[in-house]
Amino acid sequence: MFHMAAGRYIVLCFFRSAGEPRARTTILGLQSHRAHFDDVNLTFFGVSTDPLDEREVRIRDSLPGIRYLWDFDRSVSAAYGAIDTSGRYNNVTYILDPNLQVVATFPWLPDSDADLELLKDAIDAVPAAGSACVASLQAPILLTPRVFEPDLCSALIDYLERNGATDSGFMRDVNGKTIGMLDHDHKRRRDCEINDDALRELCRARIRDRLLPEVRKSFQFQATRIERYIVACYDGADKGHFRPHRDNTTKGTAHRRFAVSLFLNTGAYDGGFLRFPEYGAALYTAPTGGAVIFSCSLLHEATPVIKGRRYMFLPFLYDETGRRIRTENESS
In contact, 319 and 225? CB cutoff 8 Å: yes
Q: Residues of the chain with pLDDT > 70: what percent?
A: 100
**pLDDT tens digits, residue range 69-112?**
999 999 999 999 999 888 899 999 999 999 999 999 999 987 77
Residues 6+ apart with CB under 8 A from 26: 13, 15, 93, 108, 113, 116
**pLDDT tens digits, residue range 182-195?**
899 999 999 999 99
- Pairing outcome for strands 9-16 and 42-48: parallel
Query: Does 245 have pLDDT greater than 90?
Result: yes
Structure pTM? 0.88
Is the omega angle on the peptide bond into residue 140 within 30 degrees of 0, that is, cis? no
Model pLDDT, residue 111: 76
Distance between CA atoms of residues 243 and 35, nearest Å: 49
Distance between CA atoms of residues 156 and 262, nearest Å: 11
If you count them, how many residues does the chain have? Answer: 332
In contact, 247 and 270? CB cutoff 8 Å: no
Query: Does 265 have pLDDT greater than 80?
Result: yes
Residues 6+ apart with CB under 8 A from 288: 150, 153, 263, 264, 265, 266, 267
Between the two ends of the chain, the Cα-to-Cα distance in Å is: 50
Full DSSP string of 207-259: IIIIIHHHHHHHH-----EEE--EEEEEEGGGT-EEEEE-SS-SGGGTT--EE
Model pLDDT, residue 31: 87
**pLDDT tens digits, residue range 213-226?**
999 999 999 999 99
Cα–Cα–Cα angle for 26, 29, 30, rounded to 5 degrees: 90
Q: 135 in the Ramachandran plot: left (φ > 0), alpha (ψ -120 to 50) or beta?
A: beta
Mapping DSSP to helix (H, G, I), strand (E, B) and coil, where does residue 122 land?
helix
Distance between CA atoms of residues 137 and 295, nearest Å: 17
Structural domains in the chain, CATH included, are: 2-124 (3.40.30.10), 142-331 (2.60.120.620)
Cα–Cα–Cα angle for 152, 9, 107, rounded to 5 degrees: 65
